[in-house]
């Protein structure tokens, strides 16, 4: 989190096999707004943090750092807008991306790639 660990990069996986990262994508806000299945956040101290299985993912800029996370497990389709509004209320300026359900095979592929990936 901002103030605790400096974020040096991130990589996001989407349903259908698309992968985006902080080097190739200008900003979190440039990502597709629907379909994320997981994200890995990399920190300056060499550690990383993984988030997957969320209905909503978010990134809040904080100075030259950011807070990235996921929330809203088991949020129904009619609750997405309210949950996204709650995230933005708690994390002002956050960009929210809607997660997607996917197959076990695709989750396994993401986990394999994520385990082998280095900081973008």
Residues found in the chain: 120
How many structural domains comprise the chain? 1
- Asked whether residue 1 is domain-assigned, the answer is no
pLDDT value for 72 = 66
Whether 16 shows a pLDDT value over 70: the answer reads: yes
Q: How confident is the model at residue 55 (pLDDT cuts 50, 70, 90)?
A: confident
- Asked whether residue 28 is domain-assigned, the answer is yes
Whether 2 shows a pLDDT value over 60: the answer reads: no
- Asked whether residue 68 is domain-assigned, the answer is yes
- Cβ pair 36, 99 in contact under 8 A: yes
Q: What is the mean pLDDT of the chain?
A: 86
Whether 94 shows a pLDDT value over 90: the answer reads: yes
Whether 1 shows a pLDDT value over 60: the answer reads: no
- Asked whether residue 38 is domain-assigned, the answer is yes
Q: Which residues of 86-113 are buried (b: 16+ CB within 10 A; e: fewer)?
A: ebeeebeebbbbbbeebeeebbeebeee
As a whole number, mean pLDDT of residues 40-68 equals 89
Whether 110 shows a pLDDT value over 50: the answer reads: yes
As a whole number, mean pLDDT of residues 18-31 equals 88
Query: What is the domain range of residue 38?
Result: 7-116
- Asked whether residue 2 is domain-assigned, the answer is no
- Asked whether residue 109 is domain-assigned, the answer is yes
């Amino acid at each position: 989190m901002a103030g605790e660990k400096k974020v040096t990069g991130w990589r996001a996986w989407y349903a259908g096999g698309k992968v985006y990262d902080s080097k190739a994508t200008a900003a979190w806000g440039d990502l597709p707004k629907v379909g994320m299945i997981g994200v890995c956040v990399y920190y300056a101290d060499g550690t990383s943090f993984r988030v997957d299985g969320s209905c909503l993912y978010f990134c809040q800029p904080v100075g030259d750092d950011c807070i990235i996370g996921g929330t809203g497990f088991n949020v129904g389709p009619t609750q997405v807008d309210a949950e996204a509004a709650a995230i933005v209320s708690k994390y002002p300026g956050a960009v929210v991306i809607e997660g997607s359900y996917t197959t076990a095979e695709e989750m396994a592929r993401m986990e394999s790639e994520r385990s082998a990936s280095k900081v973008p």
